Amino acid sequence: MLERTNDIRYVSEFEEKYPFGVMKEIMVIKGWQYREQMGSGLVFEKERETITIETRQFSNHYYIWDIPKEIVHSDEQY
């Protein structure tokens, strides 16, 4: 995980049986529901909001994906 200005970058292992599983699990924990894959992006919905998380292949076994900070920190209380 790498925290950047507007988003947080993750590197995850690509599993043949459950592609992008880690990303889907994190988004579900944050209250988002997986809808579909469009090219290199995965579409999630929460209430009336839609977000697409883009993925990039890092190597044969890993991929990179970024989540906006406001989604990652949405359930934190200040």
Q: What pTM value is reported for the model?
A: 0.79
| Any domain includes 78 | no
HEC readout, the chain = CEECCCEEEEEEECCCCCCCHHHHHHHHHCCCEEEEEECCEEEEEECCEEEEEEEEECCCCEEEEEEEHHHHCCCCCC
Looking up tokens 């919905």 gives: 45
- Domains identified in the chain, total number: 1
Tens-place pLDDT, residues 32-75: 999 999 999 999 999 999 999 999 999 999 999 998 888 876 66
> Stretch 11-40: mean pLDDT, rounded?
91
Residue 78 has pLDDT above 60, yes or no: no
Q: Give the range of the structural domain holding residue 62, as residue numbers without chain letter.
A: 2-72
> Does residue 77 belong to any structural domain of this protein?
no
Which pLDDT does position 76 carry in this prediction?
A: 55
Which strands make up the sheet holding 41-46, listed edge to edge? 2-3, 7-13, 62-68, 49-57, 41-46, 33-38
